[in-house]
Amino acid sequence: MSTHQTSLILIVDDNPNNTKVLFELLKESGYRVLVAKSGESALERLKSVCPDLVLLDVMMPGIDGFETCRRLKAAPTTQEIPVIFMTALADTVDKVKGLTLGAVDYITKPFQQEEVLARVNIHLKLYHLNRDLEKRVAQRTAALSNALTQLQQSQMLLVQSEKMSALGQLVAGIAHEINNPINFVHGNVTHLDRYIQDVLSLLQVYQQHYPHPVSAVQAEAESIDLDFLLSDLPKTLSSMKLGTGRILEIVQGLRNFSRLDEAELKVVDIHAGIESTLLILQHRLKAKPEHGGIQLIKEYGVLPEIECYPGQLNQVFMNLIANAIDALEESMLSCWLPRGNSQALDRATIWIRTEMLDQHHVCIRIADNGVGIKEEFKTKLFEPFFTTKPIGKGTGLGLPISYQIVVEKHGGQLECISELGQGTEFVITMPIRVALTL
């Protein structure tokens, strides 16, 4: 389409002869034309239409052209429309006044058709070029903004991925180094237990057949408190077996957590992932000189194994539980005590709850009774690099990455429920099979 076919011109003039001449000239030139006989009617008309150009007479009854222009330029919806004044006045002061009010040009009466068309054409071209330029600038700005957002997300993922990969390698290395010697010790404790049982059986046989040993043997038995040794030695060995068994469980937990580089979907026990994460964070739950420690309440439901990227899901658990610990430490250091909270206990507490939502989805809730989150911050929680923590304490990466892992990678949902003074709860909804939602 040409500019003529698409441009709409509004003529504002109380003189019917002027209006007729301009209407016929512009119509014959291919423009669409509207007419208003006063400033008031023009402003009313502009509430429902948006012309590309206004030809405005200066001298009119009611509000004159200058006041009409001023009001037109003051309204956000019409302030960009170019205005050309029509006047028989030759006074330079009046022309300057009109240009100051925002007009782009003047047409002098009586009209010269060639002059009218030339000025209308040039200002319409300038108007459409300006609008096209603004549109292109807006598109380019949007493209740059999108590119910046993608770059920030890429940087965010790279930083966190490198960080978690390094942590995973460290944990895996520690687990590997511990695993061999503890397996050796645990295996030998089992053998030692059997050997000791054999020795104790032999002693019992000696006591049955030689109830009254020679004085030297009797003295040595009393010296080492043989009766206590016989009763306590099995208990000591049992404790050692329990201890080495616990270390083996810890090593397995470390191995589970260190599966951060697993790129394939796997069917896993989600509780095992939570437990392995808690193992890493256990030291932060214990009492310290500055606070009394954090109570952990686990309320696990009966869940099936779910299909997921286990290392990435462990990363989500790590971020959310660590955030809860941070919030509670801040509360305890500021001597804040929860009030009016039905979940609030006498001490800082984290709840981890799991449940089946329906036959296709499970839910994991991680809640704390800390200070909560301000309303104005809640809408920004999942934005990259946004953090409420002091400089050096937070990167603003944990929650955005957690959101991306849960929502984009697994087709789940991640929601934050929080009120200031009422604690915070993060709710993870996960499909049992990723293919159900992706």
- Phi-psi bin for 102: left (phi > 0), alpha (psi -120 to 50), beta? left
Instruction: Identify the band that residue 176 occupies on the pLDDT scale cut at 50, 70 and 90.
Output: confident
Give the pLDDT confidence score for residue 303 in this predicted structure: 94
Specify which of 128-132, 147-151, 260-264 reaches the highest per-range mean pLDDT. Answer: 128-132
What integer is the mean pLDDT of 209-223? 84
Give 6-49 pLDDT, tens digit per residue: 789 999 998 888 889 899 899 988 899 999 999 999 998 898 89
Give the mean pLDDT of 316-329: 89
Domains along the chain with CATH numbers: 3-111 (3.40.50.2300), 262-438 (3.30.565.10)
Rounded CA-CA distance 368/362 in Å is 20
**pLDDT averaged over the chain?**
82
Q: Specify whether the CB–CB gap between 363 and 277 falls below 8 A.
A: no
User: How many whole angstroms separate alpha carbon 72 and alpha carbon 281?
Assistant: 65
Mean pLDDT of 342-352: 71
The pLDDT of residue 346 is above 90: no
- pLDDT tens string 264-300: 788 999 998 899 888 888 888 887 776 778 999 999 9
Please, which pLDDT band fits residue 82 given cuts at 50, 70 and 90?
very high
Q: Is the whole model's pTM more than 0.75, yes or no?
A: no
pLDDT of residue 165: 63
258 pLDDT above the threshold of 70: no
pLDDT of the residue at 110: 83
- Percent of the chain with pLDDT strictly greater than 70: 83
Measured between alpha carbons, how far is 286 from 254 in angstroms, rounded to an integer? 19
pLDDT for res 333: 64
